């Protein structure tokens, strides 16, 4: 298996990067949809159903598969011999940030269910603030992997 991973390294890495880009796009866009949904739409209005459909499809058809692909290809990279030196700090900061990013994804999924149930209680301002979290985590992840601090 390790020989296969070494041979497929560049392909796995490329697929991982594509999955990350797709996941990040969703992590940036879904909270922005929530901002507009919370600020400009009342529960039960026709526009409410439109927003719910957009949010559900973004999460289920794009973000969930991208998150799973990111994790899957990332774990394949972790198990590729010679790629990760666990005695350094960077793999730990990256791992912690990816776990935090996954928590944020799940938090967004729970907020989508709140909108679906007509029970959203968060403001557009709160969603704007939460929308900064993936940016901070992305910075930590990229610096961890590229600079290897």
115 neighbors 127 (Cβ within 8 angstroms): no
Q: Is 88 left (phi over 0), alpha (psi -120 to 50) or beta?
A: beta
Residue 1 has pLDDT above 80, yes or no: no
Q: Which pLDDT value is given to residue 149?
A: 79
Residue 2 has pLDDT above 90, yes or no: no
Residue 92 has pLDDT above 90, yes or no: yes
Q: What is the mean pLDDT of the chain?
A: 96
- Cα distance between residue 41 and residue 52, in whole Å: 11
- Cα distance between residue 87 and residue 148, in whole Å: 12
Q: Which pLDDT value is given to residue 75?
A: 97
Q: Where are the domains of the chain?
A: 2-147
Q: What is the mean pLDDT of residues 95-119?
A: 97
Residue 96 has pLDDT above 80, yes or no: yes
Q: What is the mean pLDDT of residues 131-143?
A: 97
The sign of the torsion formed by the CA atoms of 72, 73, 77, 79 equals positive
Q: Which pLDDT value is given to residue 58?
A: 98
- Cα distance between residue 21 and residue 126, in whole Å: 24
**What separation in angstroms does the CA of 54 have from each of 23, 34, 51, 86, 91?**
16, 10, 5, 40, 35
Tokens linked to 45: 């209005």
Tokens linked to 24: 């990040």
pLDDT in tens, 21-78: 999 999 999 999 999 999 999 988 999 999 999 999 999 999 999 999 999 999 999 9
The pLDDT confidence band at residue 3, using thresholds 50, 70 and 90, is confident
Angle at CA 103, nearest 5°, toward 98 and 106?
130
Beta-carbon contacts of residue 51 (< 8 Å; ≥ 6 apart): 33, 36, 37, 41, 115
Global pTM reads 0.93
């Amino acid at each position: 298996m390790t020989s296969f991973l070494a041979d497929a390294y560049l392909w796995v890495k490329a697929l991982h990067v594509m999955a990350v880009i797709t996941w990040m796009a969703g992590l940036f866009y879904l909270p922005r949809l929530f901002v507009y949904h919370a600020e400009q739409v009342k529960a039960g209005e026709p526009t409410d159903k439109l927003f719910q459909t957009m949010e559900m499809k973004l999460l289920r058809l794009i973000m969930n598969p991208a998150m799973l692909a990111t994790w899957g290809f990332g774990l394949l990279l972790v198990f590729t011999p010679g790629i990760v030196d666990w005695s350094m700090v960077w793999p730990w900061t990256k791992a912690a940030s990816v776990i935090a990013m996954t928590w944020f994804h799940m938090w967004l999924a729970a907020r989508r269910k709140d909108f679906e149930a007509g029970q959203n209680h968060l403001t557009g301002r709160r969603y704007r603030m939460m929308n900064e979290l993936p940016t901070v985590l992305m910075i930590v992840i990229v610096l961890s992997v590229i600079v290897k601090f």
